[in-house]
Amino acid sequence: MPTVYEFTVKDRKGNSVALSEYKGKVLLIVNTATGCGFTPHYDPLEAMYKDLRDKGFEILDFPCNQFANEAPGSEDEIHEFCTLKFGTEFPQFAKIDVNGENAAPLFAYLATEKPFEGFGKGLKNAFLKKVTDANNKKFGDKAYIKWNFTKFLIDREGNVIARFEPTTDMQEVRRAVEKALG
């Protein structure tokens, strides 16, 4: 059975990084954007990273501009924004596509392992569903990720154990990470 360790990605400088370098760690893999309504998720993500990285936790940040052009800058501009505004220290990788013909194989794999199950209930979630449905029509059956700040939790063996949509409360994400850390 495949794991995330079989994938190689590009860091923000264009260097290849084998995800097998993260063997034995709990990972949270996130597609992000600097101009999104969910961009404030960087605060709880960074807090979680600072609190838990010494226990074997890593956050892997993949900027994506496929949702309303909310990550328009270069890798360096995005990195500068995140470090100056949110103090992020977790690894940030090259900007990628998460949907369509050019979707990063890692994200196609993650979304296949843990498919979209909805945004939950409520007016905000219903509005987001309407927006995402319109946006994702252009990707057809390759609309793997519905919006920015979708998070995938990976156990220490490289298996995808949970998917969190951007509407998921960050305390719920943190509890799942802490449980995976043991």
Active site residues: 36
Instruction: Determine phi and psi for 31, rounding to 5 degrees.
Output: -95, 130
How far apart, in whole angstroms, are the C-alpha atoms of residue 149 and residue 31?
A: 5
> Cα dist. 139→13, 103, 133, 134 in Å?
28, 10, 10, 10
Instruction: Determine phi and psi for 9, rounding to 5 degrees.
Output: -125, 175
